[in-house]
Structure 1
Amino acid sequence: MKALLVKNINKYFYEPKKFQVLKNVNLEVEKGEFLSIIGKSGSGKSTLLYLLSTMDTEYEGEIYINETKVTGLSQNKLSDFRNKHIGFVFQFHYLLPEFSVLDNVMIPALKLNLKSKEEIKERAIELLQMLDIKENETKLASKLSGGQQQRVAIARALINEPTIIMGDEPTGNLDSKNTEIVFDIFQKLANKGQTIITVTHDDEFAAKCNRIIEFSDGEIIN
């Protein structure tokens, strides 16, 4: 089953003048694939990721996620869809510093409101255990190291059992040891059938993925 289908995507920026940032991009991603998008700064890779995540809707072409056409959906429907189907891991973790680790992980599921608070808590603890940070569940997010914070961000991205995990430079702020830990987590998730798409400047990270998509001047070149 296809986790993602991208058809003839074109994207323009209009400031300071009209500029085409994505040119006729076509892409298919199978369920359970772990792929990295690479390319120089300004090549369009992060722009594509934001379109795929439905956070940017200004483009020409069509995007299907989990066989649902997301192009043209209202902002409310997209917000619901995103919460159910997409887990996003940023370069910076964006945790709420005054909340505990456990509360940070639970927030997207509480917002989705499909399960009881107890079920959500159970799932959050399970994820923290899987990511080897359960002993920090009651700590404030601000009291963790950078590597631990990024693992909490991954747990948060997984709480609603999304179709796809997307990462924009998810290891960009991490040292080599924590980068390896995050890669291994993604690899294990992919082995269990989770689809993962990351944008990265880290060639070593990309080389270990199932597939590399290389971008140059808004086009897939490899």
Structure 2
Amino acid sequence: MKSILKTQLVNKFFHDPNEFHVLKDISIEVDKGELVTLVGKSGCGKSTLLYILSTMDRDYKGDLYLDNELMTHKSIDELAAIRNEKIGFVFQFHYLLQEFSCLKNVMIPALRLGKLSPQEIEAKAYERLKTLGLADQALKNASKLSGGQQQRVAIARALINDPLIIMGDEPTGNLDSKNTAIVFEIFKDLAHNAGQTIIAVTHDEDFAQKSDRIIEMKDGMII
């Protein structure tokens, strides 16, 4: 399998108010098409690790490779461009613009990337919504959708630029068990049938157990 993401001996310190060693010698590798979950008690460092993996946190020691390219020491602007093109995000809260239609919400990252015409982006956004069973909701304002539907729109938005990797931070944390199961099936299908790499932080035991691989953390280390 092709390695999509790799860390070598990543260490992270918080310095305020006292020095605290939050991540200790983290070395992991994630392959293309793998659905990986990061688990552990609150405060174990899993969300901190996710922020480093997603290039949003640059203040660490060690090396991070994305698609075999070293991300460490790149500038804020370089990383922002890489994120927009190569990483899709799904958070616990969907962060949709409520006054925009679902279609418009999905289009935003692609419009920002600017590689396709607005017409092409609109067609692609519609296809992504169709894949997630939301074609009939495309022109509705995001505020009119249920929580589960809004989270599926957020997944469509994360997919619009064909990212190398999707990062999820508690992607089912706000959903009931039925919608959690729907989102998990979407992720599994994306990983196994579309070769989409997914890394998700989760407290949901069931979600983690069904993923391809669990990375369990405790006290800033992988156990």
TM range (shorter): over 0.9
Matches within 5 A, 1:134-173: 134-173=135-174
CA distance in 2, matches of 1:12, 1:142: 40
| SS across alignment from 2:44 | coil
Structure 2 counterpart of 1:148, one-letter code: Q
1:51 counterpart = 2:59: no
Structure 2 counterpart of 1:208, one-letter code: K
| SS across alignment from 2:51 | helix
CA distance in 2, matches of 1:15, 1:145: 40
Query: What TM-score comes out, normalization by structure 1 length?
Result: 0.98
CA distance in 2, matches of 1:201, 1:88: 17
Deviation at 1:15, TM superposition (A): 1.5
CA distance in 1, matches of 2:123, 2:139: 14
Corresponding position of 1:182: 183
Deviation at 1:164, TM superposition (A): 0.3
Deviation at 1:118, TM superposition (A): 1.1
| SS across alignment from 1:155 | helix
Root-mean-square deviation (CA, aligned residues, Å) is 0.6
CA distance in 2, matches of 1:143, 1:83: 27
After TM superposition, the structure 1 stretch with the greater mean CA deviation from structure 2, 200-209 or 136-145, is 136-145
| SS across alignment from 1:166 | strand
Corresponding position of 1:132: 133
Matches within 5 A, 1:5-16: 5-16=6-17
Deviation at 1:67, TM superposition (A): 1.0
CA distance in 2, matches of 1:63, 1:9: 8
Deviation at 1:142, TM superposition (A): 1.2
Structure 1 counterpart of 2:207, one-letter code: F
After TM superposition, the structure 1 stretch with the greater mean CA deviation from structure 2, 116-125 or 154-163, is 116-125
CA distance in 2, matches of 1:189, 1:213: 20
**How many percent of aligned residue pairs carry the same amino acid?**
60
Deviation at 1:143, TM superposition (A): 1.3
Corresponding position of 2:119: 118
Cα deviation, 1:106-158, whole Å, max 9, x if unaligned, reads 00000000011111111101110010111111111111111011000000000
Corresponding position of 1:93: 94
Query: What TM-score comes out, normalization by structure 2 length?
Result: 0.98
Deviation at 1:75, TM superposition (A): 0.8
Residue ranges of structure 1 left out of the alignment (5+ in a row): none
Structure 1 counterpart of 2:116, one-letter code: K
Structure 2 counterpart of 1:9, one-letter code: V
